[in-house]
Structure 1
Amino acid sequence: MIELVKKLTSLHGPSGYEQEVSYFLRDYLKDKVDEVVIDPIGNVIAKKKGTKPGPVILLTAHMDEVGFIVKKIEANGFLRFEKLGGNDDRNLIAQPVKVLGEEGHINGVIGTLSAHFAKFDDAQKVRKHSQLYIDVGASSYQEAVEMGIEVGTPVTWGSELQILGSSEKPKIRAKSLDDRAGCAVILQVLEEIEQDFAGELTCLFTVQEEVGLRGAKTASEHIDADVAIAIDTTAVSDTFEQTMDQTLSLGKGTGIKVMDASLIVPNTMKKLLVQLAKENHIPYQLEVFTGIGTDGGAVMYANKGIPTGVLSIPSRYTHSSIELVDVGDLIATKDLVKAFVKSVDEQSSFPF
């Protein structure tokens, strides 16, 4: 599963520019499902039928990542930029980036003051992203243009996946784990479950989640599902900053969502997921966190309403170049999704 996450996080797909990820998912899935399509805005929708009658289960995760977009090329070749998604200005300076130019990917860095100038500056100042710039090594406007950069060129983090921790309890550090980790969970479930389930699986990999759940809002209106599980990462609160309340931790299992800013999970869905976790000895945590929203919030409102649960992969340093997840939590999330799919049959219903 680590190799799958490595491949997915190596792709570059900021909100609105997810083509690399969409095409990869389509090609990866074409021999593993009965049908796979890319819709007009880039969502990937795959369907797979089980061997027995049963409900239609929607599994969804978003493929986009937070990033940036070039707003202006300065005369000296520096790039001014806007955010694509919820980046924190405090995480930006001195970070490597990839500029997705017309001629290929271009290495760059978000510039910052040299340490030698610190005594002449206000040490408490956090510069807004509008005051920052990306340095791609160009010496002029024309040189940047010749490198394939223009206004509107997308940008992602330039970091690569690393394995941290012990071999018994490894952790993955990478960009875009939010939510390529969720995409990996769905792909792994499809791999392991084969056709030994009831009903039909509809797997929805969405675009533009980071800028307002846009892909899920569009796609879910055209998907006829009986029940849904959204898989996403969520921010843990187990570090030492003053605002951390120690309610969700890395390495203690998948997060079964109770409530976030986008939805209140139906109590029957929450209880069912908890019951399955206990029966299958899958480690879990209950999550109440209003600082986040997921595609589950969009799916739940679709059509006449789809009963929706959400499983959260705990993550440190979310929306940064060094997001961190525990492999054990990743596997626990996969195992609970799989247990849910295997638990349904022709008589299954999901009442309020």
Structure 2
Amino acid sequence: MADEKLQMLKDLTNANAISGFEKEAREVMTKYISPYADHVSTDHLGSLIATKTGDANGPKIMVAGHLDEIGFLVTSVDEKGFLRFQTIGGWWGQVMLAQRVTVMTRSGTIDGVIGSKPPHVLTPEARKKPVEIKEMFIDIGASSREEAESFGVRPGDAIVPVCEFTVMKNEKLLMAKAWDNRIGCAIAIDVLRGLENVDHPNTVYGVGTVQEEVGLRGAKTSGHAIKPDIGFGIDVGIGADTPGVSDKEAQGTLGNGPQIILYDASMIAHKELRDFVVQTADDHEIPYQYAAIPGGGTDSGAIHLTADGVPALSITVATRYIHTHAGILHRDDYENTVKLLVEVIKRLDADTVKRLTFQ
């Protein structure tokens, strides 16, 4: 793959890293962000913190994407070798049946599929009734508990959705698992890349947080380690430009620019910072769109409550089919998000941050 950024996106999304098991994604992010950072470290939960200093006495700016993706956890193996599991992160049962998964064992990876009944054995009534997640199981091709255990499977193993990174026929559209939120990690990398050999009046932290999908946990610990003056949670937003999604349910059109999140379940956007970002976008003719996500939150929800409080804003990339095996986003939205953040950071000197904070 000749395109360096596409290769980075492929490596990030193909990494298997559900909440609590972020090592693979952290190693990929470390590889790509290290050339543009002065220092790379982790907090004690495993969140990656890459530091790039412009002015050591200037404001501390945190740009955070989360390393983890949604998935499952093995809870038991039944006598016939089928796996029972716990969901990790938010799943809707209707997107799960008959989907492929990878089981991460101490002996290596195992292919599996979430089992389903063929329609031939279902009554008309049963076909209309969703299967409850607690009734689902995973088939790894084992004939007994003993055989499954011989494969290396044990309770506590991570289970990851399968979807290879794919450039679609319209090459601006990219399909993969784990856009939520390896695209945020890619943006954090590219923001530091965009600041290479650029004078900027602050210290920037490109962060890959852990365990966002289960409670914004890594954002709490990495935020505590950094104690930023300004925080940006970079994530996926709702791609609402598909059949069946109304304007009343969500906003978000692929290709229309980064989404400025006005409100979500974890945070109300900091008004002055939001206005500053929008003005910067207008000044540089960077497209953007507004959105609200009342049914979910981002790492900004934890970052803005760090210490005495941090002005924070969530900026997202509209993505179709989030919290499923396969998501689709638009490359221009990714690149315009990077462009916007780089221009914002160039303007965030000490006087500006003080004005935003105390206005």
| TM beyond 0.5 | yes
1:189 matched to 2:218? The reply is: no
Equivalents in 2 of 1:219, 1:190: separation in Å?
18
* Identity level (%): 33
* Counterpart position of 1:237: 240
1:286 corresponds to which of 290, 293, 309: 290
2:223 alignment partner, one of 220, 223, 229:
220
1:198 to partner: Cα distance: 1.6
Q: 2:299 aligns with which of 277, 295, 314?
A: 295
The answer to whether the 8 Å contact 1:43/1:205 transfers is yes
Displacement after TM superposition at 1:159 (Å): 1.4
Which position in structure 2 is the counterpart of 1:332? 336
Cα offsets for 1:141-200 (capped at 9, x unmatched):
111111110011110101111122424xx1111110000001001111111211412211
Q: Structure 1: which amino acid aligns with 2:241?
A: D
For residue 58 of structure 2, give the secondary structure of its aligned residue in structure 1.
strand
Q: Secondary structure at 1:122's aligned position in 2? A: helix
Q: CA deviation at 1:120?
A: 6.2
- TM score, norm. by length of structure 1: 0.95
Look up the equivalent residue of 2:102 and give its one-letter code.
K
Separation (CA, whole Å) in 2 of partners of 1:190 and 1:107: 36
Conservation of the 8 A alpha-carbon contact between 1:53 and 1:345: no
Checking the alignment, whether the CA contact within 8 Å between 1:49 and 1:195 is kept in structure 2 is no
Give the Cα separation in 2 of the matches to 1:327 and 1:174.
12
Query: Does structure 1 conserve the Cα–Cα contact (< 8 Å) formed by 2:71 and 2:161?
Result: yes
Give deviations 1:238-268, integer Å, cap 9, x for gaps: 2222655363212211101111110001111
CA contact (8 A) 1:81 1:129 kept: no
2: distance between equivalents of 1:31 and 1:339? 21
SS in 2 for 1:107: strand
Structure whose residues are more often helix by fraction: 2
Is 1:263 matched with 2:247?
A: no
Q: Hey, what's the Cα distance between the residues in 1 that align with 2:38 and 2:68?
A: 24
**Aligned mates of 1:88, 1:291 — CA distance in 2:** 13
Shift of 1:227: 0.9
Partner SS for 1:54: coil
In 1, the alpha carbon distance for the partners of 2:84 and 2:329 equals: 31
Output the CA distance in 1 between the equivalents of 2:245 and 2:227: 44
* Secondary structure of residue in 1 paired with 2:147: helix
1:316·1:325 contact (CA, 8 Å) conserved in 2?
yes
**Distance in structure 1 (CA, Å) of the matches to 2:252 and 2:205:** 29
Q: CA RMSD in A?
A: 1.6
Q: Is the 8 A contact 1:230 1:311 kept in 2?
A: yes
Asked if 1:22 is matched to 2:40, the reply is: no
Deviation of the 1:121 alpha carbon: 5.8
Q: 1:236 to 1:166 in 2, by over 3 A?
A: closer
| Aligned-partner Cα distance in 1 for 2:118–2:185 | 39
Are 2:68 and 1:39 equivalent residues in the alignment?
no
Deviates more, 1:16-25 or 1:148-157: 16-25
Give the Å deviation of 1:56.
Answer: 1.3
Are 2:207 and 1:204 equivalent residues in the alignment?
yes
User: What is the DSSP-based 3-state SS (H/G/I as helix, E as strand, rest coil) of the residue aligned with 2:221?
Assistant: helix
Which residue number corresponds to residue 89 of structure 2? 85
Report the Cα offset of residue 24 of structure 1.
Answer: 2.8
Q: 1:5 aligns with which of 3, 9, 15?
A: 9
Structure 1 residue corresponding to 2:251, chosen from 242, 247, 253: 247
The reply to whether residue 173 of structure 1 matches residue 175 of structure 2 is: yes
Retained in 2: the 8 A contact 1:107–1:158? no
Gaps of 5+ in 1: none
Q: Is the alpha carbon distance of 1:242 and 1:171 closer, same or farther for their aligned partners in structure 2, counting shifts above 3 Å? A: closer
Q: Can you list the C-alpha shifts for 1:120-139, whole angstroms capped at 9, x where unaligned?
A: 66111111111111111111
